[in-house]
Amino acid sequence: MAKVTVHRKAHFNAAHRLYNADWSDARNATVFGKCANPHYHGHNYELIVAVKGDINPVTGFVMDMKILKDLIAHEIEDKFDHKNLNEEVFEFKELNPTAENIVVVIWNILRAKIDTKLQLSITLYETPRNFVTYSGN
Ligand code: NI
Protein backbone atom coordinates (compact mmCIF):
# COMPACT_ATOMS: atom_id res chain seq x y z
CA MET A 1 0.00 0.00 0.00
CA ALA A 2 1.37 3.38 -0.98
CA LYS A 3 1.94 5.72 1.94
CA VAL A 4 1.37 9.33 0.99
CA THR A 5 1.86 12.52 3.03
CA VAL A 6 -0.80 15.20 2.72
CA HIS A 7 0.01 18.72 3.85
CA ARG A 8 -2.19 21.59 4.95
CA LYS A 9 -0.88 25.12 5.43
CA ALA A 10 -2.34 27.48 8.00
CA HIS A 11 -1.49 30.81 9.52
CA PHE A 12 -1.87 32.74 12.72
CA ASN A 13 -0.62 36.01 14.15
CA ALA A 14 0.32 36.02 17.79
CA ALA A 15 2.30 37.98 20.34
CA HIS A 16 4.75 36.60 22.82
CA ARG A 17 7.57 37.36 25.16
CA LEU A 18 10.42 34.94 25.82
CA TYR A 19 11.81 35.04 29.34
CA ASN A 20 12.82 32.98 32.29
CA ALA A 21 11.18 34.31 35.45
CA ASP A 22 14.16 33.13 37.52
CA TRP A 23 16.54 35.40 35.62
CA SER A 24 17.27 39.13 35.74
CA ASP A 25 16.01 41.39 32.96
CA ALA A 26 19.61 41.75 31.78
CA ARG A 27 20.15 38.01 31.49
CA ASN A 28 16.81 37.57 29.72
CA ALA A 29 17.80 40.28 27.26
CA THR A 30 21.15 38.60 26.65
CA VAL A 31 19.66 35.17 26.01
CA PHE A 32 16.41 36.09 24.23
CA GLY A 33 17.32 39.41 22.60
CA LYS A 34 14.38 41.31 21.13
CA CYS A 35 12.08 38.44 22.04
CA ALA A 36 12.54 39.33 25.75
CA ASN A 37 10.84 42.72 25.24
CA PRO A 38 8.56 43.02 28.32
CA HIS A 39 5.94 44.76 26.17
CA TYR A 40 5.62 41.73 23.87
CA HIS A 41 5.95 41.60 20.08
CA GLY A 42 4.23 39.73 17.29
CA HIS A 43 5.05 37.09 14.72
CA ASN A 44 3.25 35.90 11.61
CA TYR A 45 3.38 32.18 12.23
CA GLU A 46 3.05 29.81 9.31
CA LEU A 47 2.02 26.27 10.07
CA ILE A 48 2.33 23.16 7.93
CA VAL A 49 0.51 20.08 9.15
CA ALA A 50 1.65 16.86 7.48
CA VAL A 51 -0.36 13.65 7.77
CA LYS A 52 1.12 10.42 6.39
CA GLY A 53 -0.65 7.14 5.87
CA ASP A 54 -2.15 4.64 3.50
CA ILE A 55 -4.53 5.79 0.80
CA ASN A 56 -8.01 4.68 1.77
CA PRO A 57 -9.11 2.47 -1.15
CA VAL A 58 -12.74 3.57 -0.80
CA THR A 59 -12.22 7.35 -0.75
CA GLY A 60 -8.80 7.65 -2.37
CA PHE A 61 -7.82 9.93 0.53
CA VAL A 62 -5.17 9.61 3.24
CA MET A 63 -7.29 12.05 5.24
CA ASP A 64 -10.19 14.19 4.12
CA MET A 65 -8.57 17.63 3.72
CA LYS A 66 -11.77 19.41 4.67
CA ILE A 67 -11.75 17.63 8.02
CA LEU A 68 -8.06 18.52 8.48
CA LYS A 69 -8.73 22.14 7.51
CA ASP A 70 -11.59 22.43 10.00
CA LEU A 71 -9.55 20.73 12.71
CA ILE A 72 -6.69 23.21 12.32
CA ALA A 73 -9.12 26.15 12.21
CA HIS A 74 -10.98 25.14 15.37
CA GLU A 75 -8.18 23.66 17.44
CA ILE A 76 -5.24 25.90 16.49
CA GLU A 77 -6.25 29.11 14.69
CA ASP A 78 -9.16 29.88 17.03
CA LYS A 79 -6.90 29.26 20.03
CA PHE A 80 -3.74 31.10 18.88
CA ASP A 81 -4.68 33.72 16.29
CA HIS A 82 -4.47 37.33 17.51
CA LYS A 83 -3.64 36.14 21.00
CA ASN A 84 -0.95 37.01 23.45
CA LEU A 85 0.46 33.51 23.90
CA ASN A 86 1.92 34.18 27.36
CA GLU A 87 -1.25 35.76 28.74
CA GLU A 88 -4.09 34.08 26.86
CA VAL A 89 -3.06 30.52 26.02
CA PHE A 90 -3.00 28.39 29.15
CA GLU A 91 -0.30 26.02 27.89
CA PHE A 92 2.16 28.95 28.07
CA LYS A 93 1.33 30.16 31.56
CA GLU A 94 4.46 28.39 32.77
CA LEU A 95 6.04 27.40 29.46
CA ASN A 96 8.21 29.77 27.42
CA PRO A 97 6.43 30.27 24.06
CA THR A 98 9.43 29.58 21.87
CA ALA A 99 8.82 28.14 18.42
CA GLU A 100 10.09 24.82 19.80
CA ASN A 101 7.53 24.77 22.62
CA ILE A 102 4.70 26.05 20.40
CA VAL A 103 5.23 23.29 17.82
CA VAL A 104 5.07 20.62 20.54
CA VAL A 105 1.87 22.12 21.98
CA ILE A 106 0.28 22.17 18.51
CA TRP A 107 1.36 18.59 17.80
CA ASN A 108 -0.12 17.38 21.09
CA ILE A 109 -3.45 19.12 20.41
CA LEU A 110 -3.76 17.71 16.88
CA ARG A 111 -2.40 14.26 17.74
CA ALA A 112 -5.35 13.75 20.08
CA LYS A 113 -7.78 14.48 17.22
CA ILE A 114 -6.27 12.53 14.29
CA ASP A 115 -6.55 8.77 13.69
CA THR A 116 -3.57 7.06 15.34
CA LYS A 117 -3.00 5.02 12.15
CA LEU A 118 -1.82 8.28 10.57
CA GLN A 119 1.62 9.78 11.28
CA LEU A 120 1.61 13.45 12.20
CA SER A 121 4.40 15.95 11.64
CA ILE A 122 4.22 19.69 12.27
CA THR A 123 6.37 22.47 10.83
CA LEU A 124 6.11 25.94 12.34
CA TYR A 125 7.67 29.05 10.80
CA GLU A 126 8.22 31.89 13.26
CA THR A 127 9.86 33.98 10.55
CA PRO A 128 10.35 33.19 6.85
CA ARG A 129 13.84 31.92 7.68
CA ASN A 130 13.38 30.39 11.14
CA PHE A 131 11.29 27.26 11.49
CA VAL A 132 11.00 24.15 13.61
CA THR A 133 9.58 20.68 13.05
CA TYR A 134 8.18 18.07 15.43
CA SER A 135 6.96 14.56 14.77
CA GLY A 136 6.35 13.34 18.29
CA ASN A 137 9.72 12.01 19.37
NI1 NI B 1 9.71 36.51 19.14
CA of 77 to the centre of ligand 1 (A): 18
Residue 42 CA to ligand 1 centre (angstroms): 7
Give the pLDDT of residue 45: 98
Question: How many domains does one find in the chain?
Answer: 1
Distances (CA, A) of 8 to 21, 53, 59, 66, 76: 36, 15, 18, 10, 13
Contact yes or no for 72/107 (Cβ under 8 A): no
pLDDT of residue 93: 93
pLDDT of residue 92: 96
- Residue 18 belongs to what domain range? 3-134
Q: Please, which residues have CB less than 5 A from ligand 1, an ion?
A: 35
Quote the pLDDT of residue 79. 97
pLDDT at residue 36, as a whole number: 92
Residue 1's pLDDT is: 76
Catalytic positions are 35, 82, 126
C-alpha 95 to ligand 1 mean position (Å):
14
Residues of the chain short of pLDDT 50, as ranges, are: none
Domain CATH for 13: 3.30.479.10
100 CA distance to ligand 1 middle (Å):
12
Q: What is the pLDDT of residue 34?
A: 87
Please write the tens of the pLDDT for every residue from 50-85: 999 999 999 999 999 999 999 999 999 999 999 999
Neighbours of 79 (CB within 10 A): 18
